[in-house]
Structure 1
C-alpha cells in the first residue's frame, strides 16, 4: 500500500505527539514537571544527533540543561508508571493474539564507577568485557511492527551487596540481586498480569532455560529460546529416539533433515538459513500443570545452520501440537526486531545518552526513550505505508517540536522548579 501524503503524515505526528503527552500528564503533580517531561520528549524526537541535556535544552530554547536534568533526578514521579503507559500505547498500536514477546539486553558504555550498575562485564554492544551498564528489555513484536514495553537495569552483585554504592545511586531498598533471566521472567509475568496479548516468547541462550520455560508452559505460551550446544535433549513416545546434547544431536542429522527458510526480511533481503526441527514429545498441557486443559503441546529442538560458514545455533521449543516449522522459524526471526529497536533507539532517540547516575535517572531516561519509540511506531502504523527513513523521522519530529510549537504543550522558557 502506498504511503500517505506528507500533509497527512505531519498531521499524524502532531496528533500522536500531543496524545502521548496527554497520556503521561497524570504522572506529574506539578505543571512545571509535566512541561519539563514534554520538553524532554521533544528533545529525544528532535534532529540533534547527540541527545545530551545541553543539546535538548538548546533545542527547547532553555538557557541551560537544568530543566532537562531535573526530570531525571530532582523531580518526584514514577518511572514504572510511565513504563506502563508506554506498554499500553504499544499494545493499542500493535496488538495481535499471535504476537511475540522478545527478550534481550543491551550495554551502555560508561567511564568511571559512579553510574548505577556500572561494572566490568560482557556486553554484545561492544563484543567484549568492558566498563558498562546492562539493561534487560522486552519488546512486543507483531505483524504491525514492534516497540519496547518493559526494561530494567541489571544490578551486579558488586552493587546489590554494597550499601554505600546503593545509597549513593538511590537504589530502592526492595531491589535485590536478580539474574538477567530472573529480570526477564518478571517482565513476562508483568505482561501476562497486564493482559498483554501474545502467543510466543523468543530470546537468546542467556534466557533459554530454567524457570522461564515452566512459567511459559503454565501460561500456555509457546516459545523459541536459544540454548547452548551443551544443552541436553531427549525424546520419548516418538518414532525416532533422540538423546544427547544439542551439538551431538545435530551431528547426527541427515542432509534430508534440513530445509531452507527465511527468518524474515533483513537490510539485504531475506535472511536465509537452513533449519532442522525435531519434535521430541507431545503431551497434554495438564501434564505440566493439572489445572490446565487437555490441549496438546509439543516440545522440540530447532537447529539453525548458517549458509556462509555452517555455524549452528540451537533452540528449545514449545508449541501447540501440529505447529509447522515455518511458524517456529518466523518466531525466532522476530528476535531481529529488538536488535533493530536498540539500534534505532541509540542512534536516533538518545537511548545511550543518559547523563544521570542514579537508579531512578536510568529508568526515567529509558522510559522516556521507550515512549518516543512507541510514538514513532504509532505514526508509522497509522500512516499504513512504507516505514519512514529514520533521518526523515528526526527531521519531521524536529520540525514539529521546535520552540513555541503548539504540540509542546508548554512555553519555550525554563520551568520554575
Structure 2
C-alpha cells in the first residue's frame, strides 16, 4: 500500500468519530496532508493554497470554530504510535520546546527563558512527551505552559479561552500529569528520560518512585546525595573523588547511540548512590552515570538512574543517549511540519494545531519504520575495543 493510501486511510479513520459534521470531517485530512507537503510557511493561507482551497476559511474554521476535542485526537495519536512503534525497549522522553511570538495576546506567551535561543524571549513554552523505541519515535502528549502571570489574570484567561478550572502548574508537574495519563492509557514504556531541568525536580522523581517507573535523567552538579561517611554532598563531588584516584579503570569508553555524525562515543563512569531524602522503589537502586567527552575532558554531564537492581550499565548508557530523540522530534516538527508556525492565539486552537502536527509526525515515523533497512545498524552499545579511555 502506498504512503498516500496509508495517509488517506489513517486520516479518514480518525476523522470519522472525531467530527459530527461533514465539513470538518472532510477538511481534516486536507490539513494533515498539507502539513506534510513542501509548503514554505505552514500558515492557513499557504496550506489552503497548496491543497487547492480558494480561501483559508475551511482550515481556520477547523481550528477555531468547528466542534471537536483535541484531546480525543491526542488519544488517537497515543494509540497509533505504540501500535506501530511499540517495543519492549520503549521509553518516554520529556522535554519542552519554545515558540517565539510577538505581542501579549497568545495564550501563555510571556518574557521567559527560551531554550531555543538560550536567553529570555517573548515566547510560549510547550512541554512535549515523546515515545521512543528501536523502531522509531514520535510525540504522544503535549501541554502549553501557563506562567503565573497568566494563571492569576482572569481577564487574559477569558480572552484566550483558557479553561476556568486550569490552575498554575510547574513544567515538571505538567509532566507528572502526562505520565499519569500514559499509565492510565496503557502506553508501553519502561523508563523516563529527560534533561536536568526535570532530573533536578524531587516531585517528578518521587512520582516515578511511587509508580515504579525507571528513569535516566540528566541532573545538575548540585543534586544532593548522602555522602559515604554520612552527611550530604553534591553529585559533583563524585567526579572530584574519581579524579583524585587517577584510576583509568573507572572509565569505560562506550557509545550512547548514533547521532547525525555517527556513533557518539564518550567515557563513562558509574557510582551507586543514595539520594538525600528520597529512596528508590522496592527492587530498584540509584546510580549516577558520569559522561565525559573524549575530545574535551572538561565537558562533563551527570545522569541519575533509577533502575531495577542489577540493570547492566550498558543499558543505562543507552538510555542516557535516548534523550536526544525528542530533540529530533522538535526539529522535525518545526522544520518540516510547521509546529510553531501557527497564527492562532487562543487555547483551544493551539491544542488543535499542535495535536494535528503530532499526528503528521507520527505518520512520518511509522512510514519510516516500515521501510526496509538500507544498511546494517551499528552496535547500540558501541564499545570501543581498540582504544582504552584516557586516565583522568
- Corresponding residue for residue 343 of structure 1: 331
2:37 aligned to which of 38, 46, 54: 46
Q: Select 2:288's aligned residue among 283, 289, 301.
A: 301
Q: Which has the higher contact order (CA 8 A, sep 6+)?
A: 1
Output the CA distance in 1 between the equivalents of 2:163 and 2:63. Answer: 15
The structure-2 alpha-carbon separation of the partners of 1:256 and 1:288, relative to structure 1 and needing over 3 Å to count, comes to closer
Q: How does 1:315-334 map to 2 (within 5 A)?
A: 315-334=303-322
Q: 1:213 aligns with which of 186, 205, 217?
A: 205
320-329 or 151-160: which moved more? Answer: 320-329
Conserved 8 A contact 1:203-1:335: yes
Deviation at 1:356, TM superposition (A): 0.4
Q: Which segments of 5 or more consecutive residues in structure 1 lack a partner in the other structure?
A: 1-7, 388-417
2:215 maps to which of 193, 198, 223: 223
Match of residue 380 from structure 2: none
Give matches, 1:382-401, under 5 Å. 382-386=370-374
Gap change, CA 1:17 and 1:219, over 3 Å in 2 = farther
CA contact (8 A) 1:12 1:382 kept: no
C-alpha distance in structure 2 between counterparts of 1:191 and 1:338, whole Å: 17
Query: Quick check: 1:276 aligned with 2:293?
Result: no
For residues 224 and 374 of structure 2, what CA distance do their matches in structure 1 show? 43
Structure 1 residue 21: deviation in Å?
Answer: 2.9
Matches of residues 105-254 of structure 1 in structure 2 within 5 Å?
105-208=96-199, 209-234=201-226, 244-253=233-242, 254=245
Is the Cα–Cα contact under 8 Å of residues 225 and 274 in structure 2 kept in the other structure? no
Secondary structure at the counterpart of residue 147 of structure 1: strand
**Following TM superposition, by how much is the alpha carbon of 1:243 offset from its aligned partner in structure 2, in angstroms?**
5.2
Confirm or deny that 1:370 pairs with 2:352: no
Q: 1:311 aligns with which of 299, 302, 326?
A: 299
Deviation at 1:152, TM superposition (A): 0.4
CA distance in 1, matches of 2:207, 2:96: 20
Kindly provide the CA deviation profile for residues 159-184 of structure 1, in whole angstroms up to 9, marking residues without a partner as x.
11111110110001121111000001
Question: Mind listing any 5+ residue stretches in structure 2 that lack a counterpart?
Answer: 376-392
Q: Calculate the aligned-residue CA RMSD, in Å.
A: 1.9
Q: CA deviation at 1:235?
A: 5.9
Supply the distance in 2 between the matched residues of 1:170 and 1:269 (Cα, whole angstroms). 46
Instruction: Please state whether the residue corresponding to 1:265 is helix, strand or coil.
Output: strand
Q: 8 Å contact 1:13–1:379 — kept in the other structure? A: no
Aligned CA distance change for structure 1 residues 376 and 242 (closer, same or farther; 3 Å): farther
- Report the counterpart of residue 386 of structure 2 in structure 1: none
Q: Judging changes above 3 Å, is the alpha-carbon distance between structure 1 residues 241 and 273 closer, same or farther for their aligned structure 2 residues?
A: farther
Q: Is the CA contact (8 Å cut-off) linking 1:20 and 1:375 kept in structure 2?
A: no
| TM-score of the pair, normalised by structure 2 | 0.89
3-state secondary structure, aligned to 1:252? helix
Deviation at 1:256, TM superposition (A): 2.7
Task: Give 2:82's aligned residue.
Answer: 91
Match of 1:391? none
